[in-house]
Amino acid sequence: MRRSTEELRIGDYLCIAAPRARARTWCEEEQYALIERIEDLPNPGIVLADDTFGATRATLTAVFLHGFPGPVLLRDGDHLTIEAPHGRRTYDEQHPWWTSRLPDGPYFAGALERTQALSRWPTG
């Protein structure tokens, strides 16, 4: 499913790589990672000193993905997501990656954190 950057939510699985050939099997969800946190950067200059990423022309969105060593910066546009199998979603929810690693409040100065109210995860 294609979602615009604004439509991405905590709990979505974002496409992070192209399919690759493997010796035996390949599962579709392998190329997707769980979004655990999202921050909108209305002033991308706080992250980028120059305009190499088109920072002065668009808002950037930082997504914190399960298993990634740092946030991924996305420009406005469409991004691929999937509905992950129940077993993978259950495992990822029981083994969060970023929850204990981030401070309360936004990671980037001046960023706007998307709240749990906008999450696709169950709230209870």
Percent of the chain topping pLDDT 70 = 71
Query: Where in the chain are the domains?
Result: 2-117
Percent of the chain topping pLDDT 90 = 7
More reliable by pLDDT, 13 or 54: 13
Contacts of 58 (CB under 8 A, 6+ apart): 44, 75, 76
Contacts of 39 (CB under 8 A, 6+ apart): 61, 62, 64, 71, 106, 107, 108, 111, 112, 113, 114
Question: What pLDDT, on a 0 to 100 scale, did the predictor assign at position 28?
Answer: 65
Which residue matches tokens 């199998």?
85
Residue 45 backbone dihedrals phi, psi, to 5 degrees: -60, -20
pLDDT tier for residue 121 given thresholds of 50, 70 and 90: low
DSSP structure string for 23-47: SS---GGGGEEEEEEEEEES-GGGT
- pTM for the model stands at 0.76
Span 75-105, pLDDT tens digits: 877 788 888 888 888 888 888 888 777 777 7
Span 16-39, pLDDT tens digits: 876 555 555 556 677 888 999 999
